[in-house]
Amino acid sequence: MGKILKSSLYIIVLVFLVWAFFFAREATMHTFNVLRMGAMDLFSASSTTDRIQILTLQVKDLEMELSRVTASSTVEGRYHYKIAAVYSEYPYNDGGTIIIDVGSVDGITAGMPVMASEGVLLGKVTSVRRTQSEVETIFSPRWKSSVGVGNERIKAVVEGGIVPTLNLISKEAELGSGENVINLSSDYPLYAFLGTAGNARAVPNDVWQKAELTAPYRFENLISVLVVTDFH
């Protein structure tokens, strides 16, 4: 019974912190669903052991959500953005780059970070014309950047591709599926959110682990992006 009370108190405190944070920022549907499904699972559990396991899982989900939102909030509101529409190259774009409808006439310069949405890193401007610019994204095989994974900010390197991967993860690191991935490279806004990590797996004959990176959007569905105009 003591364990149940302790776990219940822990999750109640976390729920309060999450909702206190989101109440001022408008709660996300994901957070609402985490809480709703957790309550449904808890009330439907048939044993004390099941309830403890459910509470433990819900605590982990809420910790990851709070970590993601806290990281994104560090970026949001700090920079100025230029909204840009994305030209469609469907179904031929397999190089991980996009063309946007802003250029030098709009004050765009090479190296500017590009966000999929506020607080979510997508890529950087690599070339600029008068009214158009090319953006290299995390889905480009040329992309490499330093990131932190999870609450402990385990060091890793994102390498781009159709499915971006997290490489150079220490074999001693305990990396769980669903951990948040945030930017640590000085080339982009600090703590910008990139996505979530998959299960880490050992690299044969190497001292590292690797994992897949799942972005919070579909690359082929991008119709507009945000160019950070005052990062440097």
Neighbours of 169 (CB within 10 A): 23
Domain 144-214, what architecture?
A: Beta Barrel (2.40)
Instruction: Give the closest residue to 110 by CA, choosing from 211, 214, 232.
Output: 232
Q: What is the pTM of this model?
A: 0.70
CA–CA distance, 105 with 122 (Å, rounded to integer): 22
State the DSSP code for 206: S
For 107: left if phi > 0, alpha if psi spans -120 to 50, otherwise beta; the answer is left
What SS3 state is found at 14? helix
CATH of 81-137+219-228, one of 3.30.420.40, 2.40.10.340, 3.30.700.30, 3.40.640.10: 2.40.10.340
Per-residue pLDDT at 44: 60
| Local confidence pLDDT in tens for the 232 residues of the chain | 555 545 555 555 555 555 555 444 444 545 555 555 555 555 565 566 665 665 665 555 555 555 555 555 555 678 999 999 999 886 677 789 999 999 999 999 999 999 999 999 999 999 999 999 999 999 999 999 999 999 889 999 999 999 999 999 998 888 888 999 999 999 999 999 999 999 888 888 888 999 999 999 999 999 999 999 998 7
